[in-house]
Structure 1
Amino acid sequence: MEHIDGITRRSVTVHAPAGPVVGRRTGPVQRFLGIPYAQPPTGVRRFAAPLRRDRFPEPFDASRHGPTSQRVPLFATTTVPEPSVPGDDILNLSVVAPAQVAGHAAPCPVLVWIHGGGFLGGSPASPWYDGRSFARDGVVCVTVGYRLGVDGFAPLDDVPTNLGLRDLLLALDWVQENIGAFGGDPGRVTLAGQSAGGAAVLALLSSPAASGLFQRAVCLSGVLVEGDPEPARRFVERLGERVGVPPTRAGFGSRTVERLQRAVIDLRGELADDTIPLGPVVGDDVLPVSVAEGLAGRGHDVPLLLGATGDEFDCDAAPENPHPSPYSPAELAAARAAGSRVTDTLFRAACPRAAAARRDAGAGIWLYSFEWPSPVLGGAGHCVDIPFFFDLLDAPGSAKALGPYPPVELAAAMHADLVGFVHGREPEWGRATGGAGDPAREYGRPGAALVADTTGVFDPVVRAASGVVEAC
């Protein structure tokens, strides 16, 4: 038993198929942090498909976050706190569960969370992803680490493609096998993620390799991965020149993960290219076709909740915004009305496109739009919806992104919607089909109700012609 800052923490041991895991209980919440689900991707295992971890011969100490794939933050200033944790066991996950459930009561539904970061950065150890509010509401929350950048997504001739997605698939296998020991129901798993994590959710929803590994899906500010490997191949060729090695497994394997991550950041800066140079590619057993095509053909029994923020990367030039827009508020408003911003063509267009691809899915798809403007960012910016959905407005770093007085009632309402979805309830608003005037849940538009059902939220970024919906 530990007493820190007046809080009592007790050790608790779970006997899972993976072996005994020792976590910490704080009040009604149990945390088991940094549990390895795969062998460390080092030495001969670097640039190899993930290999299941052997059963722990001794109790595993899960009292602290495990090592992260991120060695170098993608940006000097990030909206989400993204700690980098050193170490080799980067393929780990954390479980936060209701204390009164684990081991002896009816199993809870499970939320598996994939962090964002452009497939180049991000951290599952962020305090914004702590699952205590989900545990409070009867949900077991799992956050997953996976390989990033060159090690996770470089298309190399002698390396399996989509290693980062293969990591996530193995983590989902681990959940199926082990989550029951933590009080979770492996038959009620919701896969969720934000930004790159949301894109990964859509990719796995379209993947034959993920069949049966989750029963519901949630995508926050994700995109539909096109998956053309050629731009990524050109990028890794330039990257090899920069670090002085051929763009092969042996070449990149001779450079540290940290050096490669720094080189990727530097090269992106020199190219002045805001696109994601490394990410999932199409043409293998994980993603045999594009995500849009895969969504049309697979996962129709999986309900999908999908949405984006109102402004993503197109916020006003607020004085405290670390990434101010170069455009005036009037210019941004005109661009939003025309559906021509990056926010619209990249993030928000993915919502009706996904709905159109799955219009025949019996399980249904529901759209939302997060519209509450952060006074710090000058709009409903990228990532600011996360503390609301997690109901963690008091998380470290939230005031820097949300200001001192974010609306707690909005967080309660958004979190309740997400918890209800994870518990298997159908959202209260209508299903989407990808056409003009689709219904959506709108959160926090200034001057309107904090939560309102509306139609036509995504109309500026879709064009309906002969039943086909496209991004403008």
Structure 2
Amino acid sequence: MTGPVARTRAGAVRGCAERFGAVFRAVPYAAPAAGAARFAAPEPVAAWSGERDATAFGPTAPMPDRRRFGDMDMEPVVHHWVTGADYRTVNVWTPDPSGRAPVLVFVHGGAFLAGTGAARVYDGAAFARDGVVLVTCNYRLGVPGWLSIPGAPENRGLLDVIAALRWVRENIAALGGDPERVTVCGQSAGGMIVSALLTEPGADGLFRRAISQSGGLHGLDPDRATDVGVRVAQQLGVPHEVASFSEIPDERLVAALTEVTANGQGGLTPVAVVRRGAKVRPGVELMLGNTTQEARLYQNPAQEAAIDELFRSASERLAEEHAAAGGRALRYRFDWRGGPYGACHAVELPFVFETTGLPELREPAGLLGPAVPDGLVRRVHDAWVGFVRDGDPGWTGEHRFTA
């Protein structure tokens, strides 16, 4: 077996050499999420001997199939469920495993129900080319990750992301990254998780900068979170307690939550992500923004105004809380409307990762359509690189991205 080898604290991993460095896929940051462990705080991964194969993506968190939004093909962004309990993993693209480059940790979106760091739109080659180590991660979704269940810690998916950031802190130097220059970034649900990290004492010292894309500060009343949990338990025919949920296969958990949300009995975010009364901690540099037509992704004209206001107000809330903590946020608005769905939610992602060339994105049912301005792609990607590298995306105050 050939390929670069890195030595993490748990053991050696062998990855793949690529044009702009190396990539290590499906490296575990926590123990497998099986049985009762699906509803507990994450535990460290057990050490292994020899070299672990890190050349291929591994399992994903259990999820429903959300690869289509009406006529739109979202597979390059959402991906699909690949079964297996060993899915709490990171993927690392590095320009030089022996280097000391700044690090970007990306937290995927997907309404807390779907998604994976292995989705093709999140390929890290362009970041590695530009001297940045990119880390993507998987975390628990749906019922195991976010449903409020008596006897289980709340926001277990958030605990997973904190565990992944702690893994980065302890191991990224072995893969060419600088643990003192870590930026955490997320989009949609991932952007909400990033915002929550800014309020979590358990995340202290794990990152220096943060980017929230169409995220912001959201919360759900605890009574509503409990109500959604009770409804899912009723759908499953079990008591609303962790011992009962621990015995249920992942497939049934996915189906039950899908049924509850499809019936309008609960929102797509089953539990509050931000603790009530939590305040944004000082000392973290912040960049945040939205697309100008977020709601067009959902193809429901009657709800567009309400959805756009939900995203806008959440970002405003984060900016205000960050300012109250003594920080100054760099703002952006992504306003390229050249695709079939305009400046909709998630449309900026291929620009950030410079993956606009994926064929599925350019087809009639794709997120971007056939005509994408190359200059805008480079400007957006360079802005993210600049912020990760030295906190300077190329503007002060607020910037509008348009062709």
TM-score, length-normalised on structure 2? 0.93
Task: Say whether residues 1:416 and 2:382 are aligned partners.
Answer: yes
Q: Deviations over 1:202-246 (max 9, x none)?
A: 000111111100000001000312242221211121111112111
Q: Among the aligned pairs, what percent are the same residue? A: 38
Partner-residue secondary structure (3-state), 1:262? helix
Which residue does 2:198 correspond to in 1? 205
> How many residue pairs end up in the alignment?
395
Q: CA RMSD in A?
A: 2.0
Which residue does 1:102 correspond to in 2? 97
Task: Tell me how far apart the structure 1 counterparts of residues 311 and 144 of structure 2 sit (CA, whole Å).
Answer: 26
- The code of the aligned residue for 2:212 comes to C
Going from structure 1 to structure 2, the CA distance change for 1:197 and 1:250 (only over 3 Å counts) comes to same
Give runs of aligned pairs for residues 304-453 of structure 1, distance below 5 A. Answer: 304-314=286-296, 323-327=298-302, 340-343=305-308, 345-377=309-341, 379-399=342-362, 400-431=366-397, 440-444=398-402, 450=403
Q: Deviations over 1:6-30 (max 9, x none)?
A: xxxx521112223100101122231
Give runs of aligned pairs for residues 3-22 of structure 1, distance below 5 A. Answer: 11-22=3-14
Higher helix proportion, which one? 2
Which residue does 1:302 correspond to in 2? 284
- The code of the aligned residue for 1:403 comes to G
Is the contact between residue 184 and residue 194 of structure 2 (CA under 8 Å) also seen in structure 1?
A: yes
Task: Tell me how far apart the structure 1 counterparts of residues 360 and 142 of structure 2 sit (CA, whole Å).
Answer: 25
Task: Tell me how far apart the structure 2 counterparts of residues 306 and 69 of structure 1 sit (CA, whole Å).
Answer: 27
- The code of the aligned residue for 2:300 comes to S
Per-residue deviation, 1:158: 0.9
Partner-residue secondary structure (3-state), 1:306? strand
Which residue does 2:15 correspond to in 1? 23
Which residue does 1:131 correspond to in 2? 124
Which residue does 1:435 correspond to in 2? none
Task: Say whether residues 1:251 and 2:244 are aligned partners.
Answer: yes
Runs of 4+ in 1 over 3 A off after TM superposition: 74-78, 279-282, 360-363
- The code of the aligned residue for 1:393 comes to T
Per-residue deviation, 1:363: 4.6
- The code of the aligned residue for 1:212 comes to G
- The code of the aligned residue for 2:283 comes to D
Q: Deviations over 1:118-155 (max 9, x none)?
A: 11111211001111100000000000111111101122
Partner-residue secondary structure (3-state), 1:349? helix
Instruction: Please point out which of 88, 93, 114 is paired with 1:91.
Output: 88
Task: Tell me how far apart the structure 2 counterparts of residues 404 and 29 of structure 1 sit (CA, whole Å).
Answer: 30
- The code of the aligned residue for 1:408 comes to D
Per-residue deviation, 1:86: 1.4
- The code of the aligned residue for 1:116 comes to G
Is the contact between residue 103 and residue 132 of structure 2 (CA under 8 Å) also seen in structure 1?
A: yes
- The code of the aligned residue for 2:289 comes to G
Give runs of aligned pairs for residues 128-277 of structure 1, distance below 5 A. Answer: 128-271=121-264, 275-277=267-269
Q: RCO higher in 1 or 2 (8 Å CA, sep ≥ 6)?
A: 2
Task: Tell me how far apart the structure 1 counterparts of residues 269 and 93 of structure 2 sit (CA, whole Å).
Answer: 33
Per-residue deviation, 1:312: 0.8
Task: Tell me how far apart the structure 1 counterparts of residues 16 and 125 of structure 2 sit (CA, whole Å).
Answer: 13
Task: Say whether residues 1:51 and 2:43 are aligned partners.
Answer: yes
Task: Tell me how far apart the structure 2 counterparts of residues 429 and 361 of structure 1 sit (CA, whole Å).
Answer: 22
Is the contact between residue 21 and residue 129 of structure 2 (CA under 8 Å) also seen in structure 1?
A: yes
Task: Tell me how far apart the structure 2 counterparts of residues 369 and 27 of structure 1 sit (CA, whole Å).
Answer: 32
Task: Tell me how far apart the structure 2 counterparts of residues 353 and 44 of structure 1 sit (CA, whole Å).
Answer: 36
Task: Tell me how far apart the structure 1 counterparts of residues 383 and 325 of structure 2 sit (CA, whole Å).
Answer: 21
Going from structure 1 to structure 2, the CA distance change for 1:396 and 1:212 (only over 3 Å counts) comes to farther
Task: Tell me how far apart the structure 2 counterparts of residues 11 and 301 of structure 1 sit (CA, whole Å).
Answer: 39
Task: Tell me how far apart the structure 2 counterparts of residues 238 and 373 of structure 1 sit (CA, whole Å).
Answer: 40
TM-score, length-normalised on structure 1? 0.80
Per-residue deviation, 1:424: 1.3
Going from structure 1 to structure 2, the CA distance change for 1:72 and 1:352 (only over 3 Å counts) comes to closer
Q: Deviations over 1:380-435 (max 9, x none)?
A: 1111100011111113532111001111110100111110000013343333xxxx
Task: Tell me how far apart the structure 1 counterparts of residues 52 and 146 of structure 2 sit (CA, whole Å).
Answer: 30
- Identify unmatched segments of 5+ residues in structure 2: none
Q: Deviations over 1:52-85 (max 9, x none)?
A: 1122212110111121113322464453241321
Which residue does 1:434 correspond to in 2? none
- The code of the aligned residue for 1:182 comes to L
Partner-residue secondary structure (3-state), 1:314? helix
Is the contact between residue 223 and residue 346 of structure 1 (CA under 8 Å) also seen in structure 2?
A: no
Going from structure 1 to structure 2, the CA distance change for 1:144 and 1:348 (only over 3 Å counts) comes to same
**Based on CA coordinates, which of the two structures has the bigger radius of gyration?**
1
Is the contact between residue 185 and residue 194 of structure 2 (CA under 8 Å) also seen in structure 1?
A: yes
Task: Tell me how far apart the structure 1 counterparts of residues 178 and 401 of structure 2 sit (CA, whole Å).
Answer: 30
Is the contact between residue 111 and residue 189 of structure 1 (CA under 8 Å) also seen in structure 2?
A: yes
Going from structure 1 to structure 2, the CA distance change for 1:200 and 1:175 (only over 3 Å counts) comes to same
Is the contact between residue 101 and residue 176 of structure 2 (CA under 8 Å) also seen in structure 1?
A: yes
Per-residue deviation, 1:304: 0.4
Task: Tell me how far apart the structure 1 counterparts of residues 110 and 256 of structure 2 sit (CA, whole Å).
Answer: 16
Is the contact between residue 106 and residue 185 of structure 2 (CA under 8 Å) also seen in structure 1?
A: yes
